[in-house]
Amino acid sequence: MEVGPRDGLQNEPGQVSVEARVELIDRLGAAGLSVIEAGSFVSPKWVPQMAASDEVYKAIRKREGVSYPVLVPNMRGLESAQRAGAEEIAIFAAASETFTRKNINATIDESLTRYTDVVRAALDKGLKIRGYVSCALGCPYEGEIAPDSVAAVAGKLYGMGCYEISLGDTIGVGTPLKTGAMIRAVSRQVPIERMAAHFHDTYGQGLANVLAVLQEGISIVDSSVSGLGGCPYAKGATGNLATEDLLYMLDGMGIETGVDLDKLLDAGRYICDHLGRRPVSRVGLARST
C-alpha cells in the first residue's frame, strides 16, 4: 500500500498545498498503485500537515479499482471522513503505552475502547477498516517491545472487525530475524493473509525486513514514494521504505504488482521538486544520473 500522501507528508516542516497533495495522489494512481492512503482526519492542532484532508479527498480523481483509505483517530474523525465521502478508514493503535499517550493522548486500553465504537459505527455504514499497530519492532520512548504485546493489540484490532492489520516499525529499528519472530507471534492472533508490514527505513533495514515478511507469507507491504515520511510523535524516525526500491525488488523476484516504475519515478520527482528535496529512493537516484 502506498502511504506517501499521508505518512510521507505528515512530518513535512511546511504545509503542502491541497493541489500538490491531490496531484501526487493522482500520479500514484496513474502509476498503478491500487491502495493509496490519502490523508488523516486527526486534530489539526496535533498534525497541521494533514489539515484539509477533506478537500484533498474530494478533489482526487478517483480511479476504478483504487481505494483511498484515510486515518481516523476517533468518532469525530470518522464523521469528517464520511462527510468527505471516504469508503475506507485506518485506525491506529500501538504496542507501547508511552507512544500511545504521545501520539493519541490515551492509554492502550482507552484507545482500543475508543476504536471499538469507531469500528462498529464504520462497519454499520459499510466502510472498510484497516488497523495499524505502531512500535511493532521498538518504541522511541520504551525501546524493546515484546512480540506478545504486538500480538495482543493486533488480535484486538482484528477481533473488532479490521480486515487487515498493518504492523508498523515506526522508527525503523527492526532487523530481519526479529521481524520474522514478531510476525510469527502475531500470526497466533491474526491470519497471515490479513497482515501487512509497514517499515520506516531509518537504519536501512526496510528491504531486508520485507524479504523476511514475504518468507513468513505476508503479501501486503506499505511503502512511501521517494521514501518520504515519519511520525511527528516518533522523534528520529525517517521516511518509510521507498516504493521505488520495493517495486524494483519485487519486479526482480518476479512478483507481479501492476505498478509502472517509470510513472512511479515521475510521481516521486514531482513531489520532491515540489518540496525542494532530493529523492531518497536508491532507484530514483540510480535513474537520475
CB of 104 to ligand HMG, least distance (A): 4
Each residue 25-44 as x (binds ligand HMG by CB under 6 A) or -, in order, gives ---------------xxxx-
User: Which residue's CB is nearer to ligand HMG, number 92 or number 270?
Assistant: 92
User: Which residue's CB is nearer to ligand HMG, number 275 or number 285?
Assistant: 275
* Phi/psi of residue 239, nearest 5 degrees: -65, 170
CB of 22 to ligand HMG, least distance (A): 20
Expressed in angstroms, the distance from the first to the final Cα of the chain is 28
Residue sitting closest to ligand HMG (CB) = 168
Task: Report the distance separating Cα 233 and Cα 125, nearest Å.
Answer: 31
Task: Report the distance separating Cα 147 and Cα 185, nearest Å.
Answer: 6
User: Which residue's CB is nearer to Mg ion, number 40 or number 189?
Assistant: 40
Q: Is 231 a catalytic residue?
A: yes
- 132 is a contact residue toward ligand HMG (CB under 6 A): yes
User: Which residue's CB is nearer to Mg ion, number 88 or number 201?
Assistant: 201
* Phi/psi of residue 270, nearest 5 degrees: -60, -50
- Catalytic-role residue among 135, 139, 162, 231: 231
Q: Which stretch binds ligand HMG (CB under 6 A): 72-80, 206-214, 252-260, 261-269?
A: 72-80
134-173: contacts with ligand HMG (CB under 6 A) = 134, 168, 170
**DSSP per residue over 78-128, as a string?**
HHHHHHHT-SEEEEEEES-HHHHHHHHSS-HHHHHHHHHHHHHHHHHTT-E
Which whole-number Å values give the CA distances from 203 to 133, 136, 138, 216, 240, in the listed order? Answer: 20, 15, 13, 22, 11
CB of 111 to ligand HMG, least distance (A): 9
Q: Measure the CA angle with vertex 39, ends 34 and 44; round to 5°.
A: 175
Total residues in contact with ligand HMG, by rule CB under 6 A: 27
User: Which residue's CB is nearer to ligand HMG, number 34 or number 80?
Assistant: 80
Q: What is the DSSP letter of 4?
A: I
Residues that bind Mg ion (CB under 5 A): 7
Give the strand pairing for 70-71 and 39-40: parallel
Site for ligand HMG (CB under 6 A): which residue of 4, 9, 28, 74? 74
Residues in the chain: 289
Active site (catalytic) residues? 231
Q: Which residues bind ligand HMG (CB under 6 A)?
A: 7, 10, 40-43, 45-47, 71, 73-74, 76-77, 80, 92, 103-105, 132, 134, 168, 170, 198, 200, 231, 233
